[in-house]
Structure 1
Amino acid sequence: MQTNNNDVTPCGIIEGFFGRSWSWDIRKNYAQFLALNQYSFYIYAPKSDKHLRKHWQDDWPLAEKKALLELRQTYHAAGVQFGIGLSPHEIYLNQSNNQRAQLDQRIRQINQLEPDILCILFDDMRGDIPGLAQIQTDIAHQAAAISNAKKIIFCPTYYSFDPVLEKVFGAMPENYWRTFAQQLDKGIDIFWTGEKVCSPNYSTEHLLQVTELIGRKPFLWDNYPVNDGAVKSNLLQLRAFDKDHSQLTGKVAGHAVNPMNQAWLSQIPLASLPLAYREKENYSPASAFTNICNDLCGTALAKQLQNDIEQLQDCGLKNLTTTERQILRETYQRFGSNPYAQEIVAWLNDEYLFDPACLTE
């Protein structure tokens, strides 16, 4: 994967959340936003796309396939790499030749989109199966052999030390991560979310431990600012990325950020990550938040967001009184057609409901 001139670590976003999906227009608009902020890739992997998950064997209908082709062209025109995330839902529960033939066919269908990146994703699936790591390794190798993508990224079922994964998906098989270190092609990257599914930061000690464990530097799947979980769906995660993110260069293979359901508001924290990588020890999250809000939202809305950040990000929707919610609603309605303000109003109106399919918070 190519990197930009200012950052040796490839950074991008992965549209990989549950709940209310982005529109095709929003996805297209993000190409310019990512290019302007020196992100190098976008990965299409929404949990709502059944043709990537439970019905992964089936190609998209013609209208969706056309939309994806146009999306890829839009990103290429902006100089941003385009990726697809395929989750062959529990393919390993039926180890028939037919399933493997269907995987071959599906990868060839995805090849028609000419993606730069192909992700094979086994998150959110049952994992307490003997020999699972070897089975998943074989599937990843099979997909990589057929794919025309330049980069393959693999997501294991257990992608963190967080005990919630075993609680939800079953006990992790013995030697699970060690098998990938020994058997998975070193040219294939491995997604990792940190010590938790939603990790606030990534210590050097942790990243070195994971590098040893999986036999390569982890490719971060950063679950900030995503807010699709039972708790975080009540929050708007707007603050800039943590100071520790400025110290990640050289310790990770890449950095993919999972944004919020609110596409416009996601731009506020997203714009800060490349700054953290570039500015290193000079990076200030507080200054970044202030400057980005001013640049994206305009001075008046930026000031309002800074005044309300504790209610929006710390208190959250469920803890707001009826009066507090109404005051906020009236405040942001005054900004009219400003898309950032409109998303706050929609959030206050319960238009971003929690999707119970999200199990890992």
Structure 2
Amino acid sequence: MTPDLGLVEARFGRIWSEDERAHVVATLAAAGYNFYHYGPKADRALRRDWRRPHSAEDGAMLMRLSARVRAAGMRFGMALTPVGATHPFDDQTRADLARRVAGLDAIGIDDLAIFFDDLRGDMPDLAARQAEVVNFCAGLTKATRVYTCPTYYADDRILDVVFGERPAGYLADLGRLLAPHVQVYWTGEEVCARAIEPAHLARVAQELGRPVCLWDNYPVNDGSRMSRFLHLRALTGRSPANAAHISGHALNPAIQAHLTCIPALTLPMLYQQGEAYSYGAAFQQAARRMLGDDLAARLQEDLLIFQDIGHERLGARADRLRRRYDNLDHPAAREILRWLEGADLMTDDEVQTQ
């Protein structure tokens, strides 16, 4: 059994170009993905400056993206993070939200997502205020599916350290107050979960009163620490039995669009193959499909360096790797070279300002 598969483009860092995104859309659609949710943290008109519309140029780009995703047979969604909308949720905020939801509808969305991730959470009546905002937007949109992401979107205590102590009963209250049709994104026991298992998902579904849509923070590599690595291995630690406990499974992509497609191709394999799934064989199959035999073989040989050793400890290996990939005319090889040169390495300041 395979759940709805998707990509939630909701990371920090450099926004993909239109060509990069077009490649990802075509690749995932051909692999059987069902939806694409657009909400990069660096798109300020969806986050820090959510009250203002996209520019005419950006709006036209998003209309083209919507048409591309739908033509490929997937649902297109956009994610709004209404910073400051819950406290206060007043007449002005309602008017601003109504205007922005209408603007997203005009772009052409099948799914509307209202996100509260990576925002302060130590505020009074948090679950009730957030549910009120989501339900208000759900009542306005023409989208036929509505999603939200809580402030506390994992059991991980790091969220309490960074965003304030989560209110008692937060998840249960949110699930009780949200409209029944709203889907809730959830990352697992950790923000970047090493394993996601049926028992955990069943417990969260019971608490929320609905199955979650998995927001899988892999192969994402944003932030000052993770951007030093390229997450290329096939998916591991995800049980195909999870399908019985979730409404969907979406990956959060890496900064590198072409390289993202390698692990992304292994998600449908995991569910389709079940107990026969082998992550090593899945990587080989996906890498050959995306890169061809030669580049795939090189990447497999260097997988430990890219994924486990990382940029800070390359040392003398860096020059060898540059020579090894510089003679290959392939966009994935160019992404590797860009990473080797440090072009996609992030700082804490970038995250804080997005």
1:287-306 maps to which residues of 2 (within 5 A)? 287-306=281-300
SS at match of 1:166: helix
- After TM superposition, the runs of 4+ consecutive aligned structure 1 residues lying more than 6 A away are none
Does residue 351 (structure 1) correspond to residue 337 (structure 2)? The answer is no
**Distance (Å, rounded) in 2 between the aligned partners of 1:31 and 1:263:** 10
Does residue 164 (structure 1) correspond to residue 164 (structure 2)? The answer is no
Match of 2:29 among 12, 30, 35: 35
Count residues in correspondence: 351
Instruction: Please name the residue that 2:320 is paired with.
Output: 327
1:117-136 maps to which residues of 2 (within 5 A)? 117-136=111-130
Contact 2:127–2:173 (8 Å) recurs in 1: yes
State the 1:243 CA deviation.
5.2
**Distance (Å, rounded) in 1 between the aligned partners of 2:58 and 2:223:** 27
1:266-345 maps to which residues of 2 (within 5 A)? 266-321=260-315, 323-335=316-328, 337-345=329-337
**Distance (Å, rounded) in 1 between the aligned partners of 2:229 and 2:241:** 27
With 155-164 and 173-182 compared, the bigger mean Cα shift is at 173-182
Instruction: Please name the residue that 1:220 is paired with.
Output: 214
Instruction: Please name the residue that 2:93 is paired with.
Output: 99
Name the % identity: 36
Instruction: Tell me the amino acid that sits aligned with residue 206 of structure 1.
Output: H
Instruction: Please name the residue that 2:7 is paired with.
Output: 13
Q: TM-score, normalised by structure 1?
A: 0.95
Instruction: Please name the residue that 1:111 is paired with.
Output: 105
Contact 2:197–2:239 (8 Å) recurs in 1: no
Q: CA RMSD in A?
A: 1.2
Q: TM-score, normalised by structure 2?
A: 0.96
Instruction: Please name the residue that 1:67 is paired with.
Output: 61
Contact 1:152–1:189 (8 Å) recurs in 2: yes
Contact 1:246–1:280 (8 Å) recurs in 2: yes
SS at match of 2:243: coil
Contact 2:147–2:185 (8 Å) recurs in 1: yes
Instruction: Tell me the amino acid that sits aligned with residue 347 of structure 1.
Output: W
Instruction: Please name the residue that 1:85 is paired with.
Output: 79
**Distance (Å, rounded) in 1 between the aligned partners of 2:347 and 2:13:** 5
Per-residue CA distance 1:100-124 (angstroms, 9 max, x = gap): 1111111111110220111100001
SS at match of 2:121: coil
For the structure 1 residues 351 and 69, does the alpha-carbon distance in structure 2 shift closer, same or farther, using more than 3 Å as the test?
same
Instruction: Tell me the amino acid that sits aligned with residue 161 of structure 2.
Output: K
SS at match of 1:216: coil
**Distance (Å, rounded) in 2 between the aligned partners of 1:204 and 1:44:** 27
**Distance (Å, rounded) in 2 between the aligned partners of 1:244 and 1:21:** 28
Per-residue CA distance 1:76-134 (angstroms, 9 max, x = gap): 11111111010001212333211111111111111102201111000011110110100
Instruction: Please name the residue that 2:145 is paired with.
Output: 151
Instruction: Please name the residue that 1:3 is paired with.
Output: none
**Distance (Å, rounded) in 1 between the aligned partners of 2:117 and 2:239:** 24
SS at match of 1:261: coil
Per-residue CA distance 1:153-191 (angstroms, 9 max, x = gap): 111100001111111111112221111222111210111
Instruction: Tell me the amino acid that sits aligned with residue 67 of structure 1.
Output: M
With 103-112 and 244-253 compared, the bigger mean Cα shift is at 244-253
**Distance (Å, rounded) in 2 between the aligned partners of 1:151 and 1:50:** 23
Contact 1:243–1:285 (8 Å) recurs in 2: no
With 40-49 and 85-94 compared, the bigger mean Cα shift is at 85-94
State the 1:35 CA deviation.
1.2
Instruction: Tell me the amino acid that sits aligned with residue 141 of structure 1.
Output: N
State the 1:220 CA deviation.
0.5
**Distance (Å, rounded) in 1 between the aligned partners of 2:104 and 2:175:** 27
Instruction: Tell me the amino acid that sits aligned with residue 131 of structure 2.
Output: T
State the 1:297 CA deviation.
0.6
Per-residue CA distance 1:176-219 (angstroms, 9 max, x = gap): 11112221112101110001000022122211111111111111
Match of 1:188 among 174, 179, 182: 182
Which runs of 5 or more residues in structure 2 are unaligned?
A: none
**Distance (Å, rounded) in 1 between the aligned partners of 2:128 and 2:88:** 15
State the 1:313 CA deviation.
0.4
**Distance (Å, rounded) in 2 between the aligned partners of 1:90 and 1:198:** 26
**Distance (Å, rounded) in 2 between the aligned partners of 1:34 and 1:305:** 21
Instruction: Tell me the amino acid that sits aligned with residue 301 of structure 2.
Output: N
Match of 1:44 among 38, 42, 47: 38
Which runs of 5 or more residues in structure 1 are unaligned?
A: 1-6
Does residue 203 (structure 1) correspond to residue 197 (structure 2)? The answer is yes
**Distance (Å, rounded) in 1 between the aligned partners of 2:22 and 2:256:** 15
**Distance (Å, rounded) in 2 between the aligned partners of 1:244 and 1:178:** 25
**Distance (Å, rounded) in 1 between the aligned partners of 2:288 and 2:168:** 51
